[in-house]
Amino acid sequence: MVSIIKTEFYKMKRYSVIWIGVATMLTVVLLSRFMATASDGASHTLINFSSSVIWNNLVLIYPATITLIAGYIIDRERTDDTLKNILTIPVSFRKMLIGKLIAVGCMAIALSVIEFVFTIMVFFASSFPGFSVGVAVNVLLQMIGINLISYIAVMPIITFTAQRSGSFMPGVGFAFFYGFVGMMASGHGLRDLYPITAGLTLIGYQDGSGDPTGNIFLSIVSIFFMLVVTSILVSMARNREAKTIKKKKNNSGKMIHKRNHGAR
């Protein structure tokens, strides 16, 4: 498993989709800066600004972005025609999928650090007050925590769509909708039950009112449920196209046999 994960890191260096992740992190920070400019008279400390970045990233762009990265990395094994070679090493499709999920989880941490760096850069460029090392470290931990938890929330989508070629793009669309609904779920008292937003309570997120309250138990149950669903899907995962190809070959073979038999 360790060798599989290391191999995934080497492969990631060649994938341009990683730069899409970096670009989205910059975009969400700049969007938060624009929103801060539009809110006249508001106090824009590091805590408030980073909270805006975390929220916008969570409900607008991150679920779809991490799903896109994971789906692309998995589907490349098919488009590059390397999947059949991997499965004959032998490495099972299930084991390969687990290795890729872990590698993307590490990528989620890396994107969180990049998001933090962009946030600090824009914060200083905007001359906002309220910086301290302690607050900065807390912001970094919050970004890593919420992005990892959000990744867990979309892992069932990634695992399900990974089993067929090209299915990850519909998964990306659903992940975007999934994240956007979190905005409404949070506003209707379902923040701790909805998987995308459940992590906000666990990281001690403060909204504009400065209220960090939430039900930690419900948040843990929600995230644990997504882990259970992912585990079930992974245990049942297989390259389902292999069956489709075999069926097509069998059907074509039967047709040829019938034609030959008819000719006789």
pLDDT tens for residues 17-72? 889 999 999 999 999 998 887 765 556 788 889 999 999 999 989 999 999 999 88
CA–CA distance, 197 with 60 (Å, rounded to integer): 12
Q: 21 near 112, Cβ under 8 Å?
A: no
Token pair of 131 as six digits: 């910086």
pLDDT at 86: 61
CA–CA distance, 150 with 215 (Å, rounded to integer): 17
Range of the domain at 93: 2-263
pLDDT at 78: 75
Identity of the amino acid at 75: D
Q: What is the pTM of this model?
A: 0.84
192-205 confidence digits (pLDDT tens)? 999 999 999 999 88
Q: Angle CA(38)–CA(39)–CA(41) in degrees, nearest 5? A: 130
Please say whether the dihedral angle defined by the alpha carbons of residues 220, 233, 66 and 38, taken in this order, is positive or negative: negative
List the chain residues with pLDDT less than 70: 39-43, 80-91, 207-213, 240-264
pLDDT at 54: 94
pLDDT at 11: 79
Q: How far is CA 184 from the centre of its chain?
A: 20
Residue closest to 182 by CA, chosen among 213, 219, 211 = 219
| Burial category of 28 from C-beta neighbours within 10 Å (exposed 0-12, middle 13-18, buried 19 and up) | buried
pLDDT at 84: 59
How many CB atoms lie under 10 A from the CB of residue 259?
Answer: 10
Helix runs in 126-215, H state only: 133-161, 168-187, 195-202
Number of separate domains in the chain: 1
Residue closest to 150 by CA, chosen among 118, 107, 94 = 107
